[in-house]
């Protein structure tokens, strides 16, 4: 008995979810806390799918709300941004970035080996 059409996964819906899961695994393997349940002062990553851009990775920290020297925080955010871009690029992902927001965007998965 074959699955009903409503039971089959749509490639359009499963592909972004699969890419999000792979990006999360890659960043977790690199030592990042991905999608923390509570916002940690030392930071964590939010990984989500944006239909217009692809998979968006953003570093979130409670320090942004409490740090009086925001230039120091911006410097740290730039370093994390660079690390995220390097890790995902080295893993074979096509990565673009938005230094102003600190977001890293993964448009495509790595090519099959």
pTM, rounded to two decimals = 0.73
State the Cα–Cα distance between residues 21 and 35, nearest whole angstrom.
Answer: 12
Residue-wise over 59-79: b if at least 16 C-beta within 10 A, else e? bbbebbeeeeeeeebeeebee
Domain boundaries, the chain: 11-108
- What are 78-98's pLDDT values in tens digits? 888 899 999 999 999 999 988
- What are 48-71's pLDDT values in tens digits? 898 888 999 988 776 655 556 666
């Amino acid at each position: 008995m074959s699955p009903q059409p409503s039971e089959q996964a749509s490639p359009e819906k499963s592909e972004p979810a699969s890419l999000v899961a792979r990006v999360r695994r890659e960043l977790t393997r690199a030592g990042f806390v991905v999608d923390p349940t509570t916002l940690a002062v030392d930071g964590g990553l939010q990984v989500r799918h944006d239909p217009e851009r692809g998979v968006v990775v953003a570093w979130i920290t409670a320090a942004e709300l409490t740090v009086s020297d925001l230039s120091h925080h911006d410097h740290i955010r730039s370093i994390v941004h660079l690390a995220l871009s390097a890790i995902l690029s080295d893993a074979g992902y096509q990565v673009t970035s938005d230094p102003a927001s600190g977001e890293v965007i993964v448009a495509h998965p790595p090519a099959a080996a």
